[in-house]
Structure 1
Amino acid sequence: MMGSYNISCYSIDKAYQDYILPGVSRTFALTIPQLPPKLQEVVANGYLLCRIADTIEDEPSLSIDQKKFFSNTFIAVVAGQASAKFFARALYPLLSEHTLATERELIQNTPRIIRITHSFTPRQRAALERCVRIMCDGMPRFQNTASLRGLADMETMDRYCYFVAGVVGEMLTELFCDYSPGANRNREALHSLMISFGQGLQMTNILKDIWDDRKREICWLPRSIFEQTGFDLDKLTPGHYQPAFGDGLQHLIGIAHAHLRNALTYTLLIPPNEVGIRRFCLWAIGMAILTLRKLHRHRDFSASQQVKISRRSVKTTIILTSIAASHDKVLTFLFNLAAKGVPFIPLEATRNDSKATPVLQASPEK
């Protein structure tokens, strides 16, 4: 699929992609290299496309109309219908210091990333283009009304998580099934779990980043959950913990836990011989469930650093899941061990009656 895109230019662009990835995401820079070489490049490229879309939405100096313009332009750029150079030259000067330097650099070098995008197979490009289109269409619906009041309810949180993470799960599943015939045989089952996988990771990040988001005058927590526990999100203040807030937080931890169990089931549907894909999934799941456990133990935290898992925990997660990557029973045991004591709410309970607070359960033993 190189066409006129010569090997020398490709090598330079590929080197830049490898260089910039750790600057915009330490986690993905850690997990993506675990994938088979043929998947590493396209997944890294897909992630960087999502980062560009996020940067547009997160830039506070852009007006709603400007964000809409650049989001629509970026959709066209990824689809090969608009100039990446025009996009980069128009957007880059408008970015403020609120946007990380590495993200500004990524915007400036959009043409390099897009040249790699356009070198992929039609199926790979279709998966990436669909993800960017849905993300750029959906995120503004929430960013335009984001405030400290939070989201209305759990259903709204589900939709938000889909646009920022669930759609990424869809993209990855398409890429995995395109690469692996064994994964493709489980396509239907993987599709039933892929959005939940993304939501589990995104909800964990939302809960961990509560206080960082509030500094940006944003809250992604569902008001209705806290109303049920008797807490008003408008009164949320760091350093002034109230048990009613802790109860609402515990409820959301239980829902995130259920999504992460779906993520584990998803991973076990990947053939055991696809060790790289499994490691890619397992490392993210392991770090997320350990973060939920720390959040549950420290619901009175007032800074994300207080619930960040240690480097030792990260290293242990990597070692254990790597050793056990092909062994389903061992992986299930390790997940249950990490999730011990973490509240669990069956997802069916959250859907059947949104007005009732589901009963928290102990972590299920499987």
Structure 2
Amino acid sequence: MNDWQEHLEKTSRTFALSIPLLDEPLRREVTIAYLLFRVADTLEDAFVWPSTMRRSALLACGEIVRSGDYQQATRMARQWGESSPTTHAGYLALLAAFPSLLEDQRALRPKAARCIEHHLVRTIDQMADFATNWVEDEVLTLRTRDDLRAYCYAVAGIVGELLTELFILHSPSLRSAADSLSRLAPCFGEGLQLVNIAKDSVDDVKEGRSLIPSSMTTEDVIGLAHTDLDRADLYVQLLRRGGAPPGTIAFAALPVALARASLQKISKMGAGAKLTRAEVAELWGRVVALSTMPIDSLGFEAEMS
């Protein structure tokens, strides 16, 4: 059984902070799920490859996830690494670890393992579709607001649905709120993705992604993000009122709080503006403290809104 914390720290500052807040076995399940989705993201983001190669890599990844074929995973991981899809050392190390990661996913609680496989394959298949049908001159190009919405759902909204199922599996008290949580789940992921699109728009264009449709501005994307984050706040409130553990509440609340703070900074300083480590640490401490407040307290909602 591998310890994946080092890979978290090398691939996501936010999730390296938030995932350890979760109780076991949920922590391990979410860790493995996140890293598997990060493998798919790395293949989807490999814009040094032609779009046909990205699509083939994604489809191969999906087939391996379905089959659990360790030998094929080992061969593909070696092939991906040799083709240098990225210069990011953390992502390259994660691709090399894909076979072990898949093996550990198969060893999780059966319901959790099936849930991760189901939603990961959905995301990979939709990523492959975007790599085929939304590419113009080797640039991933979203043409309309609906395209933007569909893309955010594919790469992030599905993650919200996955997390919701894992939360309910871990905390049966949430079953009474399952329908409401499921309706809001995509917004939880999509809001975070919209913030990233607004923040990284300049770099995205340089790297072969045109994710803001020509009919929209960065301010339009920020507006959509605010709407989704408002719904994400409702999602976090439902977790609290449904009796989720403090760690689950803090895990869900932290990315939303960071996203809101990022939007404020982008609005003031423009695309590319990022939170400092001190700002992230301050928000982390506040969210963790608030997550333990009594359910009938208004403080959490007031602080996080």
Q: Is the 8 A contact 1:59 1:99 kept in 2?
A: no
Q: Could you list the per-position Cα deviations for residues 230-257 of structure 1 after superposition, in whole angstroms to 9, with x for gaps in the alignment?
A: xxxxxxxxxxxxxxxxxx3323212211
Tell me the CA shift for residue 272 of structure 1. Answer: 4.5
Q: Could you list the per-position Cα deviations for residues 263-293 of structure 1 after superposition, in whole angstroms to 9, with x for gaps in the alignment?
A: 1110111135510001001110111001111
Q: Is the 8 A contact 2:59 2:128 kept in 1?
A: no
Q: Please, which moves more after superposition, 142-151 or 34-43?
A: 142-151
- Superposed, 1:151-170 pairs within 5 Å as 151-170=142-161
Tell me the CA shift for residue 318 of structure 1. Answer: 1.5
Determine the C-alpha separation between the residues in 2 that align with 1:157 and 1:79: 28
SS of residue paired to 1:59: coil
Tell me the CA shift for residue 181 of structure 1. Answer: 0.8
Structure 2 CA distance for partners of 1:118 and 1:273, relative to 1, 3 Å: closer
Tell me the CA shift for residue 21 of structure 1. Answer: 1.5
Instruction: Kindly indicate whether residue 171 of structure 2 is the aligned counterpart of residue 180 of structure 1.
Output: yes
Q: Paired residue for 1:322, among 285, 288, 298?
A: 288
Instruction: Kindly indicate whether residue 99 of structure 2 is the aligned counterpart of residue 111 of structure 1.
Output: yes
SS of residue paired to 1:43: helix
Q: Paired residue for 1:308, among 274, 279, 283?
A: 274
Instruction: Kindly indicate whether residue 129 of structure 2 is the aligned counterpart of residue 141 of structure 1.
Output: yes
Counterpart for residue 222 of structure 1:
213
Q: Could you list the per-position Cα deviations for residues 151-183 of structure 1 after superposition, in whole angstroms to 9, with x for gaps in the alignment?
A: 222111110001110011111111101110112
Q: How many residues align?
A: 295
SS of residue paired to 2:215: helix
Instruction: Kindly indicate whether residue 25 of structure 2 is the aligned counterpart of residue 38 of structure 1.
Output: yes
Counterpart for residue 91 of structure 1:
80
Instruction: Kindly indicate whether residue 259 of structure 2 is the aligned counterpart of residue 288 of structure 1.
Output: yes
Counterpart for residue 355 of structure 1:
none
Q: Is the 8 A contact 2:119 2:162 kept in 1?
A: yes
Q: Please, which moves more after superposition, 29-38 or 149-158?
A: 149-158
Instruction: Kindly indicate whether residue 246 of structure 2 is the aligned counterpart of residue 259 of structure 1.
Output: no
TM normalised by structure 2 equals: 0.90
Counterpart for residue 205 of structure 1:
196
Q: Could you list the per-position Cα deviations for residues 7-43 of structure 1 after superposition, in whole angstroms to 9, with x for gaps in the alignment?
A: xxx2xxx22x222121111111111000112111111
Q: Is the 8 A contact 1:61 1:94 kept in 2?
A: no
| Identity over aligned pairs, percent | 28
TM normalised by structure 1 equals: 0.76
Q: Is the 8 A contact 2:47 2:208 kept in 1?
A: no
Q: Please, which moves more after superposition, 106-115 or 64-73?
A: 64-73
Counterpart for residue 20 of structure 1:
7
Q: Is the 8 A contact 2:51 2:135 kept in 1?
A: no
Q: Paired residue for 2:218, among 228, 249, 252?
A: 249
| Larger Rg computed on CA atoms | 1
- Superposed, 1:272-287 pairs within 5 Å as 272=243, 274-287=245-258
Q: Please, which moves more after superposition, 194-203 or 75-84?
A: 75-84
The alignment's C-alpha RMSD in Å is: 1.9
The aligned amino acid for 2:77 is A
- Superposed, 1:229-240 pairs within 5 Å as none
Tell me the CA shift for residue 294 of structure 1. Answer: 1.5
Q: Which runs of 4+ in 1 moved over 4 A?
A: 146-150
Determine the C-alpha separation between the residues in 2 that align with 1:149 and 1:137: 16
Determine the C-alpha separation between the residues in 2 that align with 1:90 and 1:63: 15
User: Which of the pair has the greater relative contact order for Cα pairs under 8 Å at 6+ separation?
Assistant: 2
Determine the C-alpha separation between the residues in 1 that align with 2:17 and 2:156: 18
Determine the C-alpha separation between the residues in 2 that align with 1:273 and 1:76: 34
Determine the C-alpha separation between the residues in 2 that align with 1:213 and 1:251: 17
Q: Is the 8 A contact 1:161 1:202 kept in 2?
A: yes
Q: Paired residue for 1:269, among 223, 238, 248?
A: 238
Structure 2 CA distance for partners of 1:108 and 1:128, relative to 1, 3 Å: same
Structure 2 CA distance for partners of 1:217 and 1:89, relative to 1, 3 Å: closer
SS of residue paired to 2:67: coil
Q: Is the 8 A contact 2:68 2:106 kept in 1?
A: no
Tell me the CA shift for residue 74 of structure 1. Answer: 1.6
Q: Please, which moves more after superposition, 215-224 or 195-204?
A: 215-224
More helix by share: 2
Counterpart for residue 182 of structure 2:
191
Structure 2 CA distance for partners of 1:111 and 1:221, relative to 1, 3 Å: same
Tell me the CA shift for residue 313 of structure 1. Answer: 2.2
